[in-house]
Amino acid sequence: MSESSELAVRAAKLDAGDGLAGVRSRFVLDDVVYLDGNSLGALPAAVPGRVEDVVRRQWGELRIRSWDESGWWTAPERIGDLVAPLVGAAAGQIVVGDSTSVNVFKALVGAVRLARLGKPVASAASAASTASVASGRDEIVVDATTFPTDGYMAESAARLTGCTLRPVTPAEVPGVLGERTAAVLLNHVDYRSGRLHDLPGLTAAVHAAGAVAVWDLCHSAGALPVGLDEHGVDLAVGCTYKYLNGGPGSPAYLYVRADLQDRFDSPLPGWNSHAEPFGMRSDYEPATGALRGRVGTPDILSMLALEAALEVWDGVSIEAVRAKSLALTDFFLECVAAYVPSGRVESVTPVAHGERGSQIALRCDDAGDVMKRLIERGVVGDFRRPDVLRFGFTPLYVGFGDVERAARVLAEVL
């Protein structure tokens, strides 16, 4: 039996024993191998009918009554509670709305303001911080390898708060923390390489310095356990259109740890985050709880599409998703090593499970052209300049047969 036949047989056996295989039927799929769920998740089958109901009945018939009768007004926090277990958070700490970029800005400015209040976090080390030390916190540390918009927002937040911006790699973060550090913005998974960063360890280091930790979960939420509550993360943001399959431009979310909510001071206070939104008062009084993260009128159409999309998680544990993710990416690397000519591609994603997200990034000299040809042959990933082929593995609908086919087609294209 040839090596390709052996791997195909193994893939079939792995698919037959896959406990998540049945979840695939909850999505609208075709015969394309879709490995770009880390950019845009596939369409959950329940979404079209739900959106039609929102448009035709809730909007078309009930009209303004739907703010109360259809639950539009409470959607941001209600859907936030659906996201919460997927990132390891208790209810009442996440509000859905706005874009990731806007939420990064809110979180970072809010983090600096928390740090300057003193005692911003619950650890014993930070409890020793004094107001005089806190008032001198004038530096924001940001991941130098971050997705560009995080860097742009961090720079703007630094200007607004009078802080200096200090870009460093995540590995360098513990060594640069000090009494000047106000906030630290990090990505849980690097969008380009798929490297998983040490959220528990880095959060503890930030807290030991008396600063506030802000995490971007765009490439980890829905792909692996995050443990926001368990690890004492202060603030976190994330999108919902990747592994959460909320649809193009679906609203992002903001997590504010419960014990920080009464002190969280958003730089974007809007009528939706007012304690008395219909009081139309000229003075601003923030709402209690995570509602402080709201700003303006919610984007109802995309928000309720997201609510329907999250139904695919019924009965699915994030631990099972993580186990399959690691198995899929292991198998893909094995197939690539077996099929692709030696030296033609190089993986830039860590091999170690504890350092890998749910994607594999391969360096390839003519990556842009190679990805175009892969897509023409029914294998969809994406290209990141200058030379990276990026493949995202969404365990809810990607199978081992897909993985073997993708590696085989890649070898043929090369």
Reported as a single tens digit per residue, the pLDDT across 134-179 is 568 999 999 999 999 999 999 999 999 999 999 999 999 999 999 9
The closest alpha carbon to 109, from 148, 59, 160, belongs to: 160
Which of 143, 290, 111, 142 is closest to 210 using CA atoms?
A: 111
Active-site residue, from 24, 106, 137, 242: 242
Tokens of 330: 């292991």
Give the whole-angstrom CA distance, residue 235 versus residue 95: 12
Q: Are 117 and 260 in contact (CB under 8 A)?
A: no
Query: Which long-range contacts does 127-135 make (Cβ < 8 Å, 24+ apart)?
Result: 128/210, 129/210, 133/179, 133/210, 134/210
Whether 242 is a known active-site residue: answer: yes
Residue 253 designated active-site: no
Paired with 235 in beta bridges are 214, 256
φ, ψ of residue 140 in degrees (nearest 5): -110, 125
Annotated active-site residue in 98, 150, 190, 216:
216
Residue 120: what pLDDT? 47
Question: Do the beta carbons of residue 310 and residue 82 sit within 8 Å?
Answer: yes
H or E element at residue 101? helix 100-117
Q: What is the pLDDT of residue 133?
A: 44
Please, which residues bridge with residue 359 across strands? 392
Using a 10 angstrom Cβ sphere, with 0-12 exposed, 13-18 middle and 19 or more buried, the burial of residue 305 is buried
Q: Going from the N-terminus, what domains does the chain have, and what CATH number goes with each?
A: 3-30+316-413 (3.90.1150.10), 64-313 (3.40.640.10)
The answer to whether the beta carbons of residues 29 and 346 sit under 8 Å apart is no
Active site residue 106: no
Query: Three-state SS string across 205-233, please?
Result: HHHHCCCEEEEECCCCCCCCCCCCCCCCC
Look at residue 127 in the predicted model and tell me its pLDDT: 40
User: Do residues 156 and 162 lie in contact, with contact meaning Cβ atoms separated by under 8 Å?
Assistant: no
Q: What is the rounded CA–CA span in Å between residue 328 and residue 404?
A: 10
Beta bridge partners of 255: 94, 236
At 294 the three-state DSSP class reads coil
Residue 76's pLDDT is 98
DSSP 161: H
The catalytically annotated residue of 147, 332, 383, 397 is 147
Residue among 139, 144, 149, 224 nearest 186 (CA): 144
Q: Which amino acid is it at 334?
A: E
Please identify every stretch of the chain with a pLDDT value under 50, giving residue numbers as ranges. 120-133
Burial of 360 (0-12, 13-18, 19+ CB in 10 A): buried
